[in-house]
Amino acid sequence: MKNIAVIGAGTMGNGIAHTLAQFDYKVQLIDISQASLDKGMATITKNLDRMLAKEKITEADKQRTLNNISTYTSLEEGVEYAGLVIEAATENLDLKLKIFRDLEKFCPDDTILASNTSSISITQIAAVTSRPEMVIGMHFMNPVPIMKLVEIIKGYSTSQETYKTVKELSEKLNKVPVEVNDYPGFVANRILMPMINEAIETLYNGVAGVKEIDTVMMLGMAHPMGPLALADFIGLDVCLSILNVMYDGFKNPKYAPCPLLVNMVMAGKLGSKSGEGFYDYSQNRKAEDVAAMFS
């Protein structure tokens, strides 16, 4: 388990790679785009520099962490010696199924296959492999190096041995693993996304404005960030995808995404990553900074 492959160099993937490498695991960070790999490594370096400035790590710690990460644009080469693969690609079912079919071909027979999916069925993903007992969900929270929670999702066929191995790894990363069964949205997003959707409905129905809604939730409910700023931070396209998974999975209208959310995503207003969502990020402001304006 000293060699762990991470698929996807985006926000979650580079955060997972950073965390693993900081705890001295050898990480193979894989993405089809060299530009994405370069951007991911730049983000890891920037976050390590921030930790260095706060005296949480030393220069030697930073260099050791970076040296523990190798990058690959070839899936086959990247997973050749992996004891565990953590898929952190876009929240798209077809893409994830393709990745796991390829992992089935390229990984050693004893490699555990994990997905960082925030809502998609682990059982459905596992079904495209011949090792469903070795497929599991490992849902980290963003930002990965800081957030303690890891939802560990057991598919229908996930073995207790696989669960135990992933649980122990999570603890070695100084995380708090929580066992969750395989139902749409798991726990975190089954509770969070309807709340965000209801905040969007509240805006859509003209009850209050964006800042007012977020201020009520921050000052009245002690949330560190308002639900609309949080939606921007997560990505409105990701929120929509998760809600659609839950709506399709439960066939319950309470999970139906608000029309305003649908329209914003179609218009390309995806939140902080696109420069505009419920807030304007044209001056490179992050969602956390927007939320801090109200506290």
| Least-confidence region, from 71-75, 97-101, 109-113, 279-283 | 279-283
pLDDT at 294 > cutoff 50 = no
pLDDT at 192 > cutoff 50 = yes
CA 266 to chain centre: 22
Per-residue pLDDT reduced to its tens digit, 95-132: 999 999 999 999 999 999 999 999 999 999 999 999 99
**C-alpha distances out from residue 139 to 38, 61, 80, 233, Å:** 24, 26, 23, 17
Annotated catalytic residue, options 139, 170, 241, 276:
139
pLDDT-based confidence at 292, cuts 50/70/90?
low
Q: Which domains does the chain have, with CATH numbers?
A: 3-181 (3.40.50.720), 190-292 (1.10.1040.50)
Give residue 295's pLDDT: 42
Give residue 289's pLDDT: 56
Per cent of the chain over pLDDT 70 is: 96
Annotated catalytic residue, options 121, 151, 197, 272:
151
Catalytic status, residue 119: no
Annotated catalytic residue, options 189, 197, 241, 272:
189
Q: With the C-alpha atoms ordered 229, 235, 236, 240, is the resulting torsion angle positive or negative?
A: negative
Neighbours of 284 (CB within 10 A): 8
pLDDT at 286 > cutoff 60 = no
Give residue 171's pLDDT: 98
pLDDT at 290 > cutoff 80 = no
Binding residues: 8-13, 31, 91, 96, 118, 142, 273
Q: Among 110, 20, 34, 109, which Cα is nearest to 65's?
A: 20
Per-residue pLDDT reduced to its tens digit, 127-154: 999 999 999 999 999 999 999 999 999 9
pLDDT at 168 > cutoff 70 = yes
Binding residues for NAD(+): 8-13, 31, 91, 96, 118, 142, 273
SS3 5: strand
Per-residue pLDDT reduced to its tens digit, 27-56: 999 999 999 999 999 999 999 999 999 999
Phi, psi angles (nearest 5°) of residue 239: -60, -45
Mean pLDDT over residues 78-95, rounded? 96
Give residue 282's pLDDT: 82
Catalytic status, residue 118: yes
For all residues of the chain together, what is the average pLDDT? 95
Annotated catalytic residue, options 118, 119, 121, 241:
118
Catalytic status, residue 161: no
Catalytic status, residue 139: yes
248, with CB counted inside 10 A (0-12, 13-18, 19+), is: exposed
Per-residue pLDDT reduced to its tens digit, 242-270: 999 999 999 999 999 999 999 999 999 99
